[in-house]
Each structure stands twice: as C-alpha cells, then as structure tokens.
Amino acid sequence: MAQPRTIALDAMGGDHGPEVVIPGAAISLERHPALSFILFGDEARIAPVLAAHPALAAKARVVHTTHVVAMNEKPSQALRRGKGSSMWMALDAVQKGEAHAAVSAGNTGALMAMAKLILRPMKGIERPAIAALWPTITAECIVLDVGANIGATARQLTDFTLMGAAMARALFHVERPTAGLLNVGVEDIKGAEEVKEAHALLKAVELPLDYRGFIEGDEIGHGKVDVVVVEGFAGNIALKTAEGTARQIGQYLKDAMMRTWLSRLGALLARGGFRVLKEKMDPRRVNGGTFLGLNGIAVKSHGGTDALGFASAVDLGYEMSESGLLERLAADLETFHHRLGAVSPAP
C-alpha cells in the first residue's frame, strides 16, 4: 500500500501559475490518492481555481505569499531577493521535513541556485545535475545532465552516472541499471579528455550498475542503456534538439496526411495507430527534470506546459519520494567514493 506523501508546489511558477499548477495537481491526485499538497502562492489567485477541484482542496493547504521569482530573473538576483517567494518556500518545506518533494515550473536557474542553498548537495557531490526522462523505442531512459552545469570533470561525470543509476532503480525497478557515456564515437580514443578519463574510472571501479561504455547520440532513442551521462551544455542541446525533431516529424506527418483526399482517408483508417504515436511522442508524458545530488527532492517542470504536463512532474516527485532514492543514493556514493579513492588521486 502506498505511503502518504506530501508535495510542496510553487503555485506561482511557470507561464500560467495556479491555472496550470492546480489542475495538474488534481490529475496527479487521481493517479496517487495517497498524495497531499502544500500550495505556496497568492491565495487570492489560488482560491478560485482550487474551488473548482474539491477533491484536491480537501487534501491541500495554502500558504500565502505574493513574492514570486520572475521567469527572467538571474539566479544571483533570485538568491538575494528570493527568500519568502513561492519557490523558496516550497523548497524550504522539503528541507524542514514538511514535504517529501518540491515541484516548480519556475525559473530553472533560480530553482537550481535556491535548491543548492536550501537543500545542500549530498556529501561528496561537487555539482548536482538535472536528470530528464527520455522516450525510447523500448520504454524510457534517463539522461543527465541536461542543463544544470556547463562542462564537467571526470569525477563529476562518474558521480552523474551513479546518480542516474539510483534514479533508474527508483523509477524502472531494475537493480543493476545499464549506463553509458555520451560521446562522439564508441572507440576509447575518441572524445574530450574528461569523458575519456571518466570512461576509464567507470571501468576500473566496481559499481552498483552495468557500465556499457560510450554511446553515440543516435543510440539514445534506441534504448541501448537505462542511463545516458553527458555534461550539461551538450545534454541541454540534445534534449532541445530531440523535442524540436519530435514536433517537426509530427508536423510532417500531419501535412502528408492532409495532402489529398486519399491520404485523408488513409489517416482516418489509421487513426488508432496515429493516436498511439502521438501519445508516445507527447513531451508532456515525460515532463519534469529532477535535481539529483541534493539532500531533498526537487522537480523542475517545463514552464510552458499544460495541466497534463505538470501532472507528470508531480508524478515524478511522488515516485522519487516513494522509492527511498535519497537513502540508497547516499549509501552508493559513500561506497563509490571510497573505491574511487583507491584507484585514482584525489581531485
């Protein structure tokens, strides 16, 4: 039986605020009845939207604040002026133990800066990473980092690998997830020095995962591994390129099906198959990036998503908290860093 879990929501975050956050939370509550919520934001805006969802209203409480972090605010500004904002208060609820996870569709840089300050990185973690779910031919995989950091050392890439594997165990329920380093080729001599060094370390140290070596960009969608590791600059470009390509293919298909009366008839006959394809390619289904490597669970939803997409981010926060991810990851990191110290000099 599922344990009761409380999710702290930045009700004012994103492009639409409560008008998307609250209906999204209501959808997630239908899927996970053990959930309850703390909504941080302007009560005058929240109350009328919440009234339209009585089941959610019965399992939510509102904490009022009019202070909101703007979507275009710099992380440094958000840290100086963000205390008391809906984003800050949601993260603070996790730090105080009042909530099991925080979810926000707000400013990514501000959320990461605040999360690092409030939740603090785990022992031995130099940089937290954003991990995202990625649809594949077989199911889904996890890709990290997709934008928290620009560049990464070999040590950080190995930490990302371990963090991604912990998330894969939590979400995919596999004890030894497969993992690979994203590279420009599969040969050992290719790639940046940091990537090659991380590759050597991952091969040398015994890990609670199955390291498969280098993989190339076209193999991510094939589901070759459960966890794909990359530094944040390339990871974010890969993610945005994949999202754009999915929309491009969808438009190509729509245009082709509407070109002639015969193609329209074919589209009508194949509408069941197209519905399945649309659902598989829908980015809302895997919306939500998790900040891994912190002493608490924080999930970033896409700022422009709708209620269905925000519900996916809430679902992710629930699943991460339900799995006992943080405790297992802390133990894995301690063991890994001990073994790493035996095979390489301290950074």
Instruction: Measure Cα distances from 145 to 10, 130, 253 in Å.
Output: 23, 5, 31
C-alpha span between 282 and 246 (Å, rounded): 8
Please list the pLDDT of the chain residue by residue as tens digits (347 residues). 678 999 999 999 999 999 999 999 999 999 999 999 999 999 999 999 999 999 999 999 999 999 999 988 888 888 888 899 999 999 999 999 999 999 999 998 899 999 999 999 998 888 899 998 888 888 889 999 998 888 899 989 999 999 999 889 888 888 899 999 999 988 888 888 999 999 999 998 888 899 999 999 989 988 899 999 999 899 889 888 887 887 788 788 788 888 888 888 777 777 777 677 667 666 677 788 899 999 999 999 988 899 999 999 999 999 989 888 888 888 888 777 777 766 654 44
Contacts of 131 by beta carbon, 8 Å cutoff, 6+ apart: 142, 143, 144, 145, 146, 163, 164, 167, 289, 290, 292
For residue 1, the model assigns a pLDDT of 61
For residue 46, the model assigns a pLDDT of 97
Kindly give the residue spans of alpha helices, DSSP state H, lying in 214-306: 232-257, 261-269, 271-281
Bridge partners for 6 per DSSP: 36
C-alpha span between 104 and 162 (Å, rounded): 25
For residue 277, the model assigns a pLDDT of 67
Backbone angles phi, psi at 63, to 5 degrees: -110, 115
For residue 140, the model assigns a pLDDT of 87
C-alpha span between 279 and 128 (Å, rounded): 31
- Which H or E run includes 30? helix 18-31
* Amino acid present at 231: E
